[in-house]
Amino acid sequence: MMMFLTILGLVTLVPLILGIRKLAGDRWQVLASIPLHSNPDGTWEAGNFTWYGFISASAYALSVSVLWILLLALEFQFSEAVILITAVMAVVIPASRKIAQWIEGRKNTFSIGAAAFVGMILCPLLLFIVSQLELYGRPLPILEATAAFTIAYSFGEGLGRLACISFGCCYGKPVDELTGIAQRIFRQFKITYNSMETRKVQYDSGYSQRPLVAIPAITAVLCTVTGLISTALFLSGEFIFALLLSLGVTQIWRFGSEFLRSDYRGDNSISAYQWMALLGLFGAIVFVSSVSTTGVLPDLDNALTMVWQPGPILVTQGLWLFIFFFMGWSDVTSSTVSLHLCRNKVEEAV
């Protein structure tokens, strides 16, 4: 187990550290520009794929990979796991856009908080329904599987926040507007964006070149570390603690951190996303108090053997591609591309 946790820690924390250090720079918003049609002057109008989409897709893929391992460790069959994962993703992915559009009044926006809230309701409900139907001839470990989903969410929330740094969304208040101890603390945990007008932090608030509370970076580290600790608890058979820790830390931090954010969260002093966090946490406490564990113990070796089969790998790859195209194609930026021939390379002698 220690070897698995060490590798998982390296896979998650190394990109986290690099992302926090680099992604606020100019080059890390647009990943690729695709020429669409030519202009009379020889240039091309192009659409953009963003690092936001690439990072979001990678966060979803890693989150689902962790979920595969934890579900398979509970002796789920591949068919059981793929039905659950597909059903949840089919709802939470569009919910991340639809709920954000409803709350913020903008067409081209996403919200991890909205997806998390829907997932918190859907996962135990879906597990209960499938278990009652006994489609596979046995009841499912509902509480244990719900813990697996909440742990996977912790990783997705953590690594997904790197996408927010890249796009300049979910940004914090200017540090110089804080007072007292808050200002002293967040002088150490700040992030400064460049002057690119294509970033949300600039076109929404004009906050480029101002030190801001590093909400996405703090969220990324806090949620990822929580995911690692919760995974250790889960693999030790402490399912209730794993569930409450992963959901408790992420949702309490979501509620508190929104008071330090400057991006638009609605017109009320307590945002809809904060209410979702509180309701989700309350629901988790009620759920844990009403559902008992089944006594199953995780079999990590079996899970690691099964997860390298073609099925889980292909499903995860397919999810990555879908998320990349769904979230990565930018509707709020465009570009102009100029193509030219490197004649010196053409005529270069062998």
d(CA 312, CA 64): 9
| Ordered DSSP codes for 235-301 | HTT-HHHHHHHHHHHHHHHHHHHGGGB-S---SSSS-HHHHHHHHHHHHHHHHHHH---------HH
Type of residue at 335: S
* Number of residues written out for the chain: 350
Q: Which two tokens stand for residue 344?
A: 């010196």
The mean-pLDDT minimum among 100-109, 211-220, 300-309 falls in: 100-109
- Of these ranges, 111-120, 189-198, 330-339, the one predicted with the greatest mean pLDDT is 330-339
d(CA 304, CA 70): 9
Angle at 231 between CA 230 and CA 235, to 5 degrees: 120
Flag whether pLDDT at 195 surpasses 70: no
pLDDT per residue over 82-115, tens digit each?
888 888 888 877 777 777 777 677 776 766 766 7
Query: 342: exposed, middle or buried (C-beta count within 10 Å: 0-12, 13-18, 19+)?
Result: exposed
The mean-pLDDT minimum among 52-61, 134-143, 213-222 falls in: 134-143
d(CA 104, CA 267): 9
Whose tokens are 């081209």? That residue is 108
Query: Does the model's pTM come out above 0.85?
Result: yes
Angle at 315 between CA 53 and CA 151, to 5 degrees: 70
What's the confidence (pLDDT) of residue 137? 64
